[in-house]
A = this chain, B = another copy of it.
């Protein structure tokens, strides 16, 4: 694991409790994945990371090019730990570092921390295989998204306890395919707690305006590449509960799983209650573009994993994007 210029064992990648990250949730991050062990849209993730760093004004000295190199080096350094059928999941954390009042007091150097970890993607997507078939039941909890003017979700940051609160609220519902779908304070559909949402309506793919949401890399891939490749119109528009309930199809996007169908909202079937043809075409096309059977790979990991039977807690596996 990369930690401020060195490779250290994972158990040593720990942050001081006096770090701003732990004092204020003052840390930005990215998480990527590979397809066939080739990082996907790494540069887009890093550009977004640097936008986050700029927004929160962490005075980092490393350039984006240097960062890209370090990420690759970290993957290389860990390559032997991975099984043949693994994909690389990379997590990059950047914190402001020790709060200045503790400088010189505790045995930690001041200045920003850069931490890069690589681990098998299967950790994250464990148990998601069946969702490609049955779809997600999106549940709108009482917890709302925080609007961008107060704490901007476009900054991929770690001050997001409210996402966890949403997940906990949703875990009170019956069923194992419930994922939170947050409304923003205006009542518009915003996003999941680690994923973007889309509907398909009258042949058009529609997703919320990029305001009170993270602007997902997977989201952009659907809008700018997959939609055009398939000749399907795409649009960013304000949508609300009515639009989702009456849509023909719906799906969510996220880095670890790419695309998952959403087949119900608050327990009510969307369309005919099964993954729709547009959703399936998008999944298929994405897989073709990167040379991976995306649902098949995740299902295979599910099957090979001992503890998959019990399944992850309902709010554990949706923490990353």
Contacts and interface: CB of A to CB of B under 8 A. Distances in A.
A185 B317 CA distance: 31
Interface in A254-306: 266-268
A38 interface: no
Given A150-B146, A152-B240, A172-B267, A56 B106 contact: no
A106 B152 CA distance: 31
A157 to B, nearest CB: 6
A91 interface: yes
Contacts of A150: 143-146, 150, 162, 185, 187
A105 B305 CA distance: 12
Nearest to A108: B11
A233 interface: no
B91 A158 contact: no
Listed residue (A158, A161, A168, A209) with the most chain B CB atoms within 10 angstroms of its CB: A161
B187 A149 contact: yes
Interface string A166-177: 001100111000
Q: Is the interface of A mostly helix, strand, loop or mixed?
A: loop
B152 A146 contact: no
A107 B209 contact: no
A183 to B, nearest CB: 7
Kindly report how many copies of this chain are found in the complex they form together. Answer: 6
A262 to B, nearest CB: 16
Given A173-B172, A211-B240, A319 B140 contact: no
A152 B15 contact: no
A70 to B, nearest CB: 16
Contacts of A238: 209, 211
A54 B246 contact: yes
Contact of A25 (B159, B186, B245): B159
A313 B99 CA distance: 9
Nearest to A239: B211
Given A100-B313, A144-B149, A163 B22 contact: no
B25 A169 contact: no
Interface string A120-158: 000110100000000000001111111111111011011
A168 to B, nearest CB: 6
A22 B23 contact: no
Nearest to A238: B211
A310 to B, nearest CB: 11
30 contacts: A10-B107, A11-B107, A13-B17, A15-B17, A17-B93, A17-B115, A20-B164, A22-B22, A22-B27, A23-B158, A23-B319, A26-B161, A56-B161, A57-B168, A99-B316, A100-B313, A101-B124, A101-B317, A101-B319, A106-B119, A144-B149, A146-B151, A149-B183, A149-B187, A149-B240, A150-B185, A152-B242, A172-B267, A174-B174, A209-B238
